[in-house]
């Protein structure tokens, strides 16, 4: 280390404008022209006495992190086991890398994606930089010299600058943009986190700038610009012509401020939402590996004493872990159709309320379990379902999966909500009257539609001979309750039938033997009734040798494809849009008649978001001559629910507006003459919603299923 007390410049010991012509060079040209001696390097601690206190800080931080982790683990431990969490390890590691570390979900908001990448990459790289400095200063290993030292200086400053850009973007979004969801649950810690990180980064640059001000005069001034941000700051400070002793004091004080603020900021991980730095990748690892549209089966349901989740300890440990992973970003609430419509559900607040409840009652439950060995349900002074989470909050959920799709830390809200519904229905018998009527009708008549005069075979009238499935055909055409028992949907069922026949498909139907597959019962929380219906239908399918199924309804599609395997019902399932799109591509169907109309397409949640099928319906529209597709603002995976999901087809809505009216407004706004969907529930909701938002009959948009659109193009206008 040079003698820093020696005179350093002809300016009477002051540090002034000392750089020469080489400093005037800039960019890559400068770096290419710089001669790099092998001796290039730096004193690690400069004029700071060896900071052994740093290792005390480090030990304290590690202790704090371990304490916090143990505290969390003990709380998660009161939950039930989560089977299958260590299966499909390679897939889980890919999820941890792609969704956790690479932040794929965050990038759905481009601004937030750039901001988070800047901050996260800065934290990772600068942690690596700090580790190298510690190794260089306190071990026999020496590598910060020569070419690598200059590269080290460059990327350290580069990622410090990138981190500051991210902090600036965060400050801009929080304080200068009208960004309402950030303020749905704003806390002091949020300001401390972002401002604190900015101070850590700025003080780091100031430390290096002070070092440059002194050391460059007596060592190698040509190397300074490799720390290009600190170099610019040093140039600015040099304009004050500070005494060398003052610069050394500045360096020492800023060094300690930087270290203290860095350790203080890292300590926030234990107490704030910064814990998502670790919990998000872990939650991505434990993310389900099957379809997001699949709900868990209650095993051995006849033996259960408590159905679903009524107490916090009835959740699985994975569900309790998710509560701590939540970062309160509000993305889930922003896309929730119930919340958008002013109804009493905010997925973010639901998770946060459960988290607060766990923190309140969790320690007492731990103590009770340790002392008495039982679940300790009497410990909590308030009811989790009913008091902490209101009944109306649970019933407002559409199970559309928009919250799960947008959550950047992979929280699975819908299974948590349905688990609490199960407790309400099967333990407490608390359910909206209209939903209860649907369940009673399911149990007594095999379908949820009270008051219908139609029968399972009414749709067959006027179609000639309709083949009954006997096991010899390739496909079972599953019509479903809505396709056969709702007047508006009969033309859709007939259209699919005619198109299947025209394509030459080998198929049959069950007719009077059809019964509900149980989806409404499961989504409404009556898992017991669902399992009865599912087991009966699986036996029917097997007895008839059903191998492949075509459905009208995305809800039936999801149930057969993703949930019947839980009951050994393994069938190949196609939605009618998938089959019809394939038939058009192979020439088995020919769309020859023009349908001159502007149309907009509504992605049903259970075909699109929950099962990833967005292309087939749009391919059909593209192959219909004259059909001009106008997309709604919210489309594909960001599409808005029609409002019928989660059993809300059979419930009265509570709130400012109806969800289907909000979605109908978006459809009407496109200027299209037709709104096309692929789901009988969606069609019914648009049939109600479009007249409500466009009362004038003249020029009113008309809802159609995509099969009706294709039928007109294949057969001509009827």
The Cα 77–Cα 80 span in angstroms is 8
> Mean pLDDT throughout 663-688?
97
Between 30 and 545, residue with greater pLDDT? 545
With H, G, I as helix, E, B as strand and everything else as coil, classify residue 716.
coil
The Cα 524–Cα 646 span in angstroms is 6
Q: How confident is the model at residue 42 (pLDDT cuts 50, 70, 90)?
A: low
The Cα 638–Cα 402 span in angstroms is 7
> Mean pLDDT throughout 234-245?
84
Check residue 49 and report its DSSP letter: P
Residue of 659, 562, 642 lying closest to 605 (CA atoms): 642
Looking up tokens 């099928």 gives 613
The tens digit of pLDDT for each residue in 245-287 reads 888 889 899 999 999 999 999 999 999 999 999 999 999 999 9
Check residue 106 and report its DSSP letter: G
The pLDDT value given to residue 25: 31
Q: For residue 614, with 0-12 CB atoms within 10 Å meaning exposed, 13-18 middle and 19 or more buried, which class applies?
A: middle
With H, G, I as helix, E, B as strand and everything else as coil, classify residue 249.
helix
Q: How confident is the model at residue 29 (pLDDT cuts 50, 70, 90)?
A: very low
Burial 368-402 (b: 16+ CB within 10 A, else e): bbeeeeebbeebbeeebbbebbebebbbbbbbbbb
Map 445-488 to HEC letters. Answer: HCCCCCCCCCCCCHHHCCCCCCCECCCCCCEEEECCHHHHHCHH
Q: How confident is the model at residue 375 (pLDDT cuts 50, 70, 90)?
A: low
Q: Please provide the CATH number assigned to the domain covering 301-430.
A: 1.10.1060
Between 178 and 464, residue with greater pLDDT? 464
The tens digit of pLDDT for each residue in 278-332 reads 999 999 999 999 999 999 999 999 998 889 999 999 999 999 999 999 999 999 9
> Mean pLDDT throughout 380-398?
93
The Cα 291–Cα 184 span in angstroms is 30
Q: For residue 521, with 0-12 CB atoms within 10 Å meaning exposed, 13-18 middle and 19 or more buried, which class applies?
A: buried
- Ranges 52-56, 225-229, 337-341, most confident: 337-341
The pLDDT value given to residue 50: 66
> Mean pLDDT throughout 161-172?
96
The pLDDT value given to residue 181: 74
Q: Which of 31-35, 470-474, 516-520, 661-665 has the least mean pLDDT?
A: 31-35
The pLDDT value given to residue 26: 34
> Mean pLDDT throughout 369-383?
73
The Cα 665–Cα 694 span in angstroms is 8
**Predicted confidence (pLDDT) at residue 110 exceeds the cutoff of 80:** yes
CATH 1.10.1060 placement within the chain:
301-430
Give the Cα-Cα-Cα angle 117, 122, 128 (nearest 5 degrees): 130
> Mean pLDDT throughout 104-129?
94
- Ranges 82-96, 189-203, 230-244, most confident: 189-203
> Mean pLDDT throughout 479-499?
97
The pLDDT value given to residue 238: 83
> Mean pLDDT throughout 429-458?
94
Share of the chain above pLDDT 90, in %: 76
The pLDDT value given to residue 214: 80
The pLDDT value given to residue 31: 40
**Predicted confidence (pLDDT) at residue 488 exceeds the cutoff of 90:** yes
The tens digit of pLDDT for each residue in 5-27 reads 333 333 333 443 333 333 333 33
Q: Is the dihedral of CA 31, 34, 38, 41 positive or negative?
A: negative
Give the H or E element holding residue 572. Answer: strand 572-575
**Predicted confidence (pLDDT) at residue 30 exceeds the cutoff of 90:** no
With H, G, I as helix, E, B as strand and everything else as coil, classify residue 702.
strand
The pLDDT value given to residue 18: 36
Q: Which residues, 6+ apart, have CB-to-CB distance to 641 below 8 Å?
A: 337, 398, 400, 402, 605, 659, 663
With H, G, I as helix, E, B as strand and everything else as coil, classify residue 531.
helix
Looking up tokens 């026999």 gives 140
Q: What is the mean pLDDT of the chain?
A: 90
The tens digit of pLDDT for each residue in 543-592 reads 999 999 999 999 999 999 999 999 999 999 999 999 999 999 999 999 99
Question: Would you say 411 and 358 are in contact if contact means Cβ atoms under 8 Å apart?
Answer: no
User: Which tokens sit at 581?
Assistant: 């799109």
Q: Which of 134-143, 356-365, 526-535, 642-651 has the least mean pLDDT?
A: 134-143
The Cα 549–Cα 571 span in angstroms is 7
**Predicted confidence (pLDDT) at residue 180 exceeds the cutoff of 80:** no
Pair type for strands 548-551 and 702-705: unpaired
Q: How confident is the model at residue 215 (pLDDT cuts 50, 70, 90)?
A: low
**Predicted confidence (pLDDT) at residue 219 exceeds the cutoff of 70:** no
The pLDDT value given to residue 13: 39
Residue of 301, 299, 295, 309 lying closest to 427 (CA atoms): 309
User: Which tokens sit at 635?
Assistant: 């489309």
**Predicted confidence (pLDDT) at residue 36 exceeds the cutoff of 90:** no
The pLDDT value given to residue 32: 40
The Cα 482–Cα 500 span in angstroms is 19
Count helices and strands (H / E) in the chain: 28, 8
Q: How confident is the model at residue 224 (pLDDT cuts 50, 70, 90)?
A: confident
pTM: 0.90
> Mean pLDDT throughout 25-43?
46
The pLDDT value given to residue 487: 96
**Predicted confidence (pLDDT) at residue 45 exceeds the cutoff of 70:** no
**Predicted confidence (pLDDT) at residue 137 exceeds the cutoff of 90:** no
Q: How confident is the model at residue 669 (pLDDT cuts 50, 70, 90)?
A: very high
**Predicted confidence (pLDDT) at residue 376 exceeds the cutoff of 80:** no
């Amino acid at each position: 280390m040079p003698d820093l007390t020696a005179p350093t410049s002809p300016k009477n010991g002051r540090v002034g404008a000392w750089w020469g012509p080489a400093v005037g060079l800039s960019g890559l040209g400068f770096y290419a022209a710089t001669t790099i001696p092998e001796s290039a390097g730096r004193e690690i601690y400069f004029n700071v006495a060896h900071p052994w206190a740093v290792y005390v800080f480090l030990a304290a931080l590690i202790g704090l992190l371990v304490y916090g982790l143990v505290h969390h683990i003990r709380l998660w431990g009161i939950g039930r086991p989560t089977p299958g969490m260590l299966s499909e390890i390679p897939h889980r590691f890919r999820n941890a890398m792609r969704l956790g570390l690479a932040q794929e979900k965050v990038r759905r908001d481009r601004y937030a994606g750039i901001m988070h990448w800047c901050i996260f990459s800065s934290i990772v790289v600068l942690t690596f930089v700090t580790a190298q400095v510690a190794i260089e200063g306190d071990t026999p290993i020496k590598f910060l010299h020569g070419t690598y030292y200059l590269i080290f200086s460059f990327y350290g400053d580069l990622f410090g600058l990138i981190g500051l850009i991210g902090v600036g973007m965060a400050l801009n979004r929080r304080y200068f943009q009208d960004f309402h969801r950030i303020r749905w649950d704003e806390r002091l810690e949020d300001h401390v986190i972002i401002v604190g990180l900015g101070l850590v980064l700025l003080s780091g640059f100031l430390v290096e700038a002070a070092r440059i001000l002194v050391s460059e005069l007596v060592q190698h001034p040509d190397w300074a610009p490799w720390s290009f941000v600190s170099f610019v700051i040093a140039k600015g400070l040099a304009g004050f012509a500070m005494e060398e002793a003052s610069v050394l004091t500045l360096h020492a004080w800023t060094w300690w401020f930087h270290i203290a603020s860095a350790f203080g900021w890292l300590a926030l991980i234990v107490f704030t939402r910064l814990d998502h730095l670790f919990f998000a990748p872990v939650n991505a690892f434990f993310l389900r590996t099957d379809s997001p549209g699949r709900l868990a089966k209650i095993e051995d349901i006849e033996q259960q004493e408590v159905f679903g989740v009524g107490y916090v300890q009835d959740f699985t440990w994975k569900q309790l872990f998710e509560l701590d992973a939540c970062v309160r970003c509000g993305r889930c609430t922003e896309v929730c159709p119930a919340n958008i419509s002013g109804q009493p559900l905010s997925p973010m607040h639901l998770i946060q309320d459960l988290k607060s409840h766990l923190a309140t009652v969790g320690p007492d439950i731990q103590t009770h379990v340790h002392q008495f060995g039982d679940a300790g349900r009497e410990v909590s002074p308030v009811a989790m379902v009913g008091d902490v989470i209101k009944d109306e909050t649970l019933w407002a959920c559409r199970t559309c999966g928009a919250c799960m799709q947008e959550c950047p830390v992979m929280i699975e809200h819908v299974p948590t909500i349905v688990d609490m519904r199960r407790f309400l229905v099967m333990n407490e018998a608390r359910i909206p009257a209209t939903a209860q009527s649907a369940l009673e009708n399911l149990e007594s008549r095999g379908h949820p539609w009270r008051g219908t005069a139609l029968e399972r075979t009414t749709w067959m009238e006027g179609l000639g001979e309709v083949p009954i499935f006997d096991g010899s055909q390739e496909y079972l055409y599953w019509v479903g309750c809505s396709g056969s028992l709702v007047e508006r949907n009969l033309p859709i069922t007939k259209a699919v039938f005619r198109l299947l026949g025209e394509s030459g498909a080998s198929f049959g139907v069950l007719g009077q033997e059809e019964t509900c597959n149980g989806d409404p019962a499961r989504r409404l929380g009556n898992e017991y009734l669902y399992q009865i219906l599912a087991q009966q239908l699986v036996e029917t399918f097997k007895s008839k040798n059903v191998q492949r199924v075509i459905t009208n309804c995305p809800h039936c599609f999801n149930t057969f494809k993703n949930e019947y395997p839980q009951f050994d019902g393994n069938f190949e399932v196609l939605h009618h849009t998938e089959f019809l799109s394939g038939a058009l591509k192979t020439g088995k169907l020919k769309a020859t008649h023009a349908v001159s109309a502007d149309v907009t397409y509504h992605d049903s949640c259970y075909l699109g978001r929950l099962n990833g099928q967005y292309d087939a319906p749009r391919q059909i529209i593209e192959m219909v001559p004259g059909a001009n597709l106008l997309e709604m603002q919210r489309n594909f995976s960001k599409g808005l629910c029609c409002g019928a999901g989660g059993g809300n087809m059979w419930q009265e809505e509570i709130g400012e507006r109806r969800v289907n009216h909000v979605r109908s407004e978006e459809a009407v706004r496109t200027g299209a003459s037709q709104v096309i969907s692929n789901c009988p529930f969606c069609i019914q909701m648009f049939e109600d919603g479009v007249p409500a938002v466009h009362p004038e009959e003249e020029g009113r948009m008309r809802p159609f299923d995509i099969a009706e659109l294709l039928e007109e193009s294949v057969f001509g206008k009827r």
